[in-house]
Amino acid sequence: MILRGIDFGSVWGASGVQGFYGGDEYRYHRWLRLLGILDMRGLTFVAKTMTLNPNTGNMPIKEDGITPSELLPACVHVTPASWWNGFALNKVGLTNPGAEELLRRGIWQRRESPVVLSFMQIASLSDEPKLELAMRIQEIRAFVHLMRDALPGFRAPVALQINFSCPNTGPHAKTTLDFILETLDIASILDIPLIPKLAVDTSIIDAAAIAEHPACDAICISNTVSWGSTSVPNWQGLFGSPVSPLAHLGKPGGGGLSGAPLLPLVEDWITQFRKLDPKTLINGGGGILKPKDARRLIGAGANSVFLGSVAFLRPWRVQSIIRHASLEVT
């Protein structure tokens, strides 16, 4: 997928799947890699989402502030049945040491091929929704400031996913269309490709308005779907209970669903979006577990795809999906 004249590749990692820098991912990924079962070579590198300030979230981490310390973290819920059926629920909650620290380490800057960073505004003030949105606007301003200083140090081209859709950082005021457009206004100063990351419960009309923003280079769809969202017809059928198995962790909310149940939702979302907007580039993913799944999203109108939970749900298929999807994308 070409963004501002630069080839960012046709098969991307999902933010969160390759860790912050590419070598600090989940410990089970490392084991799967060592055993030769998981090979993520060929994926465009997309960093895990950072926030302006350090954020504790729900992921226990080592002293380096980024590497998960548990082999099978409790905030990523996979049962034998959900693994078999190809889905997971997570409530990682954007554990990270903050943008300044992540940029200071200079690791992204040394990468030789295009890098996609990811940022989310998460300031929280549950009783004051207007003030909360104003605080989050200040967050993107401060982040843009940090990025402007850091950009000259990057060897490779950089793009920025702006995550408007992580369900695990609440409580939040509803993210409004105006808020997203204002965020894009501010981030446009960076003069790098900007890719808002939305979820399938974002309305197509809003998404088309976001896509029209002059600084929006592509749309990324979809993030995990928030527990209880009506986009997913049968939560109880999936998890055997009306209460999320992750409800007890951290902030309110039951986590976000990834994997197979997302695929038809993302396919339908892209199909509907394409009726309104045939042109805006789309990086599509959610539930891609085999080459045929990537083909469905490309057929619906995605210009590139991304791979997420397949890395732990069907790791041995990652390379064949990359190979096939690279050929499918025009």
Ligand X SMILES: Cc1cc2nc3c(=O)[nH]c(=O)nc-3n(C[C@H](O)[C@H](O)[C@H](O)COP(=O)(O)O)c2cc1C
Work out how close the CB of 210 gets to ligand X at its nearest, in angstroms, rounded to a whole number. 16
Residue closer to ligand X by CB (options 122, 288) is 288
Instruction: Confirm if 192 and 151 have CB atoms less than 8 A apart.
Output: yes
Residue closest to 53 by CA, chosen among 150, 134, 119, 126 = 119
Sequence-distant (6+) residues with CB within 8 A of 105 are 21
Instruction: Confirm if 67 and 95 have CB atoms less than 8 A apart.
Output: no
Residue 86 has what DSSP assignment?
T
Residue closer to ligand X by CB (options 127, 234) is 234
Work out how close the CB of 208 gets to ligand X at its nearest, in angstroms, rounded to a whole number. 20
CA distance 164 to 122: 9
CA distance 201 to 231: 6
Residue closer to ligand X by CB (options 173, 310) is 310
Residue closer to ligand X by CB (options 253, 259) is 259
Work out how close the CB of 167 gets to ligand X at its nearest, in angstroms, rounded to a whole number. 9
Residue 228 has what DSSP assignment?
T
Residue closer to ligand X by CB (options 77, 128) is 77
Residue closer to ligand X by CB (options 130, 216) is 216
Work out how close the CB of 285 gets to ligand X at its nearest, in angstroms, rounded to a whole number. 5
Work out how close the CB of 166 gets to ligand X at its nearest, in angstroms, rounded to a whole number. 6
Sites of contact with ligand X (CB under 6 A): 14-16, 48-49, 76, 88, 90, 92, 94, 118, 163, 166, 197, 223-224, 258-259, 262, 285-288, 307-310
Residue closer to ligand X by CB (options 14, 173) is 14
- Beta strands (DSSP E) in the chain are 2-3, 6-7, 11-13, 45-46, 76-77, 87-90, 115-119, 158-163, 194-198, 218-221, 225-226, 256-259, 281-284, 304-307
Alpha-carbon distances of 302 from 52, 79, 253, 296, rounded to whole Å: 30, 31, 30, 9
Work out how close the CB of 128 gets to ligand X at its nearest, in angstroms, rounded to a whole number. 26
The residue at minimum Cβ distance from ligand X is: 16
Secondary structure class of 232 (helix, strand, coil) = coil
CA distance 308 to 16: 8
Work out how close the CB of 58 gets to ligand X at its nearest, in angstroms, rounded to a whole number. 11
Work out how close the CB of 127 gets to ligand X at its nearest, in angstroms, rounded to a whole number. 27
Residue closer to ligand X by CB (options 38, 262) is 262
Sequence-distant (6+) residues with CB within 8 A of 141 are 186
CA distance 135 to 182: 13
